[in-house]
Amino acid sequence: MSIQTIVARPICPPQLATQAIAENGGYPAEDVRAALAEILASAEFRKSPRLCRLFQFLMESQIAGAVRDTSEYGIGLDVFDRDPKTYSTVLDPIVRVQMGRLREKLKHFYETAPGQTAFIVSFPRGSYLPTLCRAENWQPAPPRPERLALRAFSCLSRDTDALAFAEGLNDELSHHLFQTWGDKLLPRGVEQTGASHVLEGSVRIDHQRVRVSIRLNDMTARVTVSSAQFDYPLPLDIALQETLAKRISDKLQGL
């Protein structure tokens, strides 16, 4: 299967964008724009101007190769007109929320209107860069966890500061996961009564660093499907809790 990533910005002249994509073994920009126009004109999209603006920005950014402009912060400024003096991606989840809606709308478009476009466009979890696949080569991705539960991370260091940090991390992670998973995230404490997957982990702290280990368990197959570790230097503060929670949440979005 041949899959090619694309990124873009409207300021790139079309002839240069076409040349750049051709040199990288990708698809012609005019073909990509034709597929984009067909999707934006569909009944699925034309009544959602905000999602259309986001979709077009990301596709044009890919065509022009403007990878650096497709960070969450950059999208918030360029697409959703956030004020750079006050905008915080931690406090304002608009980009993550709208990306979730864009993924769902694209999925529904291809399910209800098969064969309408030459390309299948998708956005991998944890990425703001679209991937393209010729429709005849496309294979559906494996399903995501249907119901996710967070089991409180255990603290393997017994001092008071470490215990407080671990509890704060649990709260921060619950907040970040909800921004992505919504009502697919079960309340803490009910993971044995309906979760398809359970996220668990531990916190270890020494004199120099914090190590957070995570495991995602498939409760149906009774196997661990993902595992990761994150190391950060001290101090134990809210900023570190936010950073760790975002890293873990981004890791799960890639599933």
Q: What superfamily in CATH does domain 148-253 come from?
A: ABC-type transport auxiliary lipoprotein component (3.40.50.10610)
Share above pLDDT 90 across residues of the chain, in percent, rounded to a whole number? 40
Q: What is the pLDDT of residues 28-83, one digit of tens each?
A: 888 888 889 999 999 889 889 999 999 999 999 888 876 556 789 999 999 999 99
The confidence score (pLDDT) of residue 205 equals 93
Q: Where is average pLDDT lowest: 139-148, 189-198, 203-212?
A: 139-148
Mean pLDDT over the full length of the chain = 81
Confidence of residue 140 (pLDDT cuts 50, 70, 90): low
Confidence of residue 12 (pLDDT cuts 50, 70, 90): very low
Q: What is the pLDDT of residues 149-175, one digit of tens each?
A: 999 999 999 889 999 999 999 999 999
> Domain residue spans in the chain?
3-137, 148-253
- Secondary structure (H, E, C), the chain: CCEEECEECCCCCHHHHHHHHHHCCCCCHHHHHHHHHHHHCCCCCCCCHHHHHHHHHHHHHHHHCCHHHHCHHHHHHHCCCCCCCCCCCCCCCHHHHHHHHHHHHHHHHHHHCCCCCCEEEECCCCCCCCEEEEHHHCCCCCCCCCCEEECCCEECCCCHHHHHHHHHHHHHHHHHHHHHHHHHEECCCCCCCCCCEEEEEEEEECCCEEEEEEEEEECCCCEEEEEEEEEEECCCCHHHHHHHHHHHHHHHHCC
Task: Tell whether the model's pLDDT for residue 217 goes beyond 80.
Answer: yes
Task: Tell whether the model's pLDDT for residue 119 goes beyond 80.
Answer: yes
Of the candidates 53, 43, 34, the one whose C-alpha atom is nearest the C-alpha of residue 121 is 34
